[in-house]
Amino acid sequence: MPEGKRTRKIDVRFTEEEYKKVLAMERELGISKTELVRKRLLNEAGMVVVNAQALLGELDRVGTELGRAGNNINQLAHHANTLRIQGSLRPEVVSQFNDLLERYLTLQSKLEVSLRKIILEMISR
């Protein structure tokens, strides 16, 4: 909370439609009407109100996709080991696999950095 006690009040009137929108935003974003109006009005250096439900839903979907990709990589590695034991694993397949794995790990690292930035931005506000 900013320094000092909040003692000043501003009365605002809305049409029925506007008020319904404010109520919907309050439910959707999970913050009070007062905090919603304060954030929107003061707009601290371009601050954006985050739709926490939508963000968490997207993060959940990203996590699911990362899990699927990890499972696929494990299956491919298992299959490659089987081929290696049989003596039928070609070097170009190993090279392609390593290239794809390196690309995947690079993208995963970039995603992790982006998520950390989002989290830091959210908790610093």
The model's pLDDT over 43-79, given as tens digits with 9 standing for 90+, comes to 654 555 667 777 888 888 888 888 888 898 889 889 9
Please give the share of the chain, as a percent, with pLDDT higher than 90.
14
SS3 5: coil
Residues near 33 by Cβ (< 8 Å), separated by ≥ 6?
22, 23, 26
8 A C-beta contact, residue 42 and residue 62:
no
pTM for this model (two decimals): 0.52
CA 106 to chain centre: 18
Instruction: Kindly state the greatest CA–CA separation across the chain.
Output: 79
Write out the two tokens for 57.
Answer: 């839903």
